[in-house]
Amino acid sequence: MKGALRHITGRLSGKAAPGDDRRKEFAMEEKTYVDDIDRSIYDIKNEEKDGFRVQEGLTPEIVAGISREKKDPSWMEIFRLQSLQIYNRMKAPDWGPSLEGLDMEHIVTYVRPNTHMSTKWSDVPEDIKNTFELLGIPQAERKSLAGVGAQYDSELVYHHVREEVAAQGVVYTDMESALRGEYASMVQKHFMKLVRPDDHKFAALHGAVWSGGSFVYVPPGVSVTIPLQSYFRLNAPGAGQFEHTLIIVGEGADLHFIEGCSAPKYNVANLHAGCVELYVGKNARLRYSTIENWSKNMYNLNTKRAVVEEGGVIEWVSGSFGSHVSCLYPMSILKGKGARAEFTGITFAGKGQCLDTGAKIVHQGPDTSSFINTKSISKDGGISTFRSSVTVGRDAAGSKAAVSCQSLMLDDYSRSDTIPAMDIRTPDADIGHEAQIGRISEEAVFYLMSRGIGEEDARAMIVSGFADNVSKELPLEYAVEMNNLIQLEMKGSIG
């Protein structure tokens, strides 16, 4: 299957650009064996050539310095400082995975690469460009994407949208340009209104130091037939990345947005505390797909939330394969009558990983419906925790919600927990929940081995089959890559 998106497992195909020795080194034909997959592409570490960085820690002076560097409008500088005050007042969560290894006094909250954002790939500095080329970003854009944004550390270095998509009135730009351009009032109206700084401590942190991210506006009735994608790469050790994604899909419009993430591995903690706010209009549809392959020194404390108007649909597709600690629970607020939400996710927790993930649904309007379908895999002592929260309000008569969680443990010392919560305030609702935890069937392994398949490959095949429902929800190229990444984890080669 030629032309698969490479930034999930790092497999490359096609011809190398003339003179690009590093690309030639990694260029290869498509592989079908697990041993051909190599994590080394993700662990490329460029020399730090930042144009500006703040000191470690978090003070009013640092936050004000970020605001000046970014040339924020006055309301944003005030917002940042108010968010910092909220951060300092709030306590860290007393539930979930331990965050003891995360010391904000040693985190650099803003690192600007020594370049400016460009709409021409040729203008991106060579070292940064080479990294994204090895990850397959420009090739993916040419073949199967309507637009691409590429962020390196704290700022976007490249952003481009196809002319035919822009001609439809679709706006796809970086957050900073949207904040100061003709859509400034729209940004101010929606920015951190779904995820407020007082939501939790790391939402407040995001409000204080956010940088980068994408702004998308799809006008009413417009259908974007091929996806938009933003890719976030954190290169600096001991740094944080705090991008903000704001998407507004107008009445009757349709969009698929893809988010990819990666970082090289360091011996110090890195932090990702981004924020995603999604506004889905009446009878509109938005699919938001995420494949996260952070390195295993990363604390991934991301917050994602969507509000859906009458007859609208939000679809989340999520794959979490990296980070040391992850806390991620996308929320869907079904505000209008007949609004729908679907969440499909898979989590793979390996050695040294504690991945605490799940989804939240709030049914506010009548006749709303939701379906959460997740699968988690644990091996080599990894801890996978699934949390779901379903709330059905008094005015949400006729609503339906179903939650399905399946967990697979591959050894005797890994752990998998399921923690569901339901708050139902109306008698006129149909609510269901099921959870299953199991092990790989030795009979199935024996059967595959009897057909000439090695034991390790047999187990990898069973795990890939377990994750098949998530694969089917991804674009074809992503599905292939996700299965390869599962096989790579089964080999124990990551991290």
pTM here is: 0.84
pLDDT in tens, 49-77: 555 678 999 999 999 999 999 999 999 99
pLDDT in tens, 179-192: 999 999 999 999 99
Q: Please say whether the beta carbons of 240 and 274 come within 8 A.
A: no
DSSP letter (8 states) at residue 108: B
Give the closest residue to 66 by CA, choosing from 77, 57, 51, 50: 77
pLDDT in tens, 328-370: 999 999 999 999 999 999 888 888 999 999 999 999 999 999 9
Instruction: End-to-end CA distance of the chain: give it in Å, rounded.
Output: 27
Under the banding of pLDDT at 50, 70 and 90, the label for residue 423 is: very high
What is the pLDDT, as a whole number, of residue 492?
47
Sort 267 into a burial class: Cβ within 10 Å, 0-12 / 13-18 / 19+: exposed
DSSP one-letter string for 8-58:
TT----SPPPTT-HHHHHH------SGGG--GGGTT------EEEEPPBS-
Q: Is 156 helix (H, G, I), strand (E, B) or coil?
A: strand
DSSP letter (8 states) at residue 242: -
CA distance 138 to 229: 11
The answer, yes or no, to whether residue 488 has pLDDT greater than 60, is no
Give the closest residue to 408 by CA, choosing from 444, 437, 384: 437
What is the pLDDT, as a whole number, of residue 51?
55
The answer, yes or no, to whether residue 175 has pLDDT greater than 70, is yes
Q: Please say whether the beta carbons of 401 and 392 come within 8 A.
A: yes
Under the banding of pLDDT at 50, 70 and 90, the label for residue 14 is: very low
Count Cβ atoms below 10 Å from residue 39 Cβ, excluding itself. Answer: 17
Tokens encoding 455: 């034991």
pLDDT above 70 coverage of the chain, percent: 76
What is the pLDDT, as a whole number, of residue 163?
86
The answer, yes or no, to whether residue 11 has pLDDT greater than 50, is no
The answer, yes or no, to whether residue 24 has pLDDT greater than 70, is no
What is the pLDDT, as a whole number, of residue 136?
61
pLDDT in tens, 455-485: 777 777 777 777 666 666 666 555 655 666 5
Average pLDDT on 219-224 reads: 97
Alpha-helical (H) ranges within 105-200 are 126-134, 137-144, 163-166, 175-180, 184-190
pLDDT above 90 coverage of the chain, percent: 49
What is the pLDDT, as a whole number, of residue 398?
97
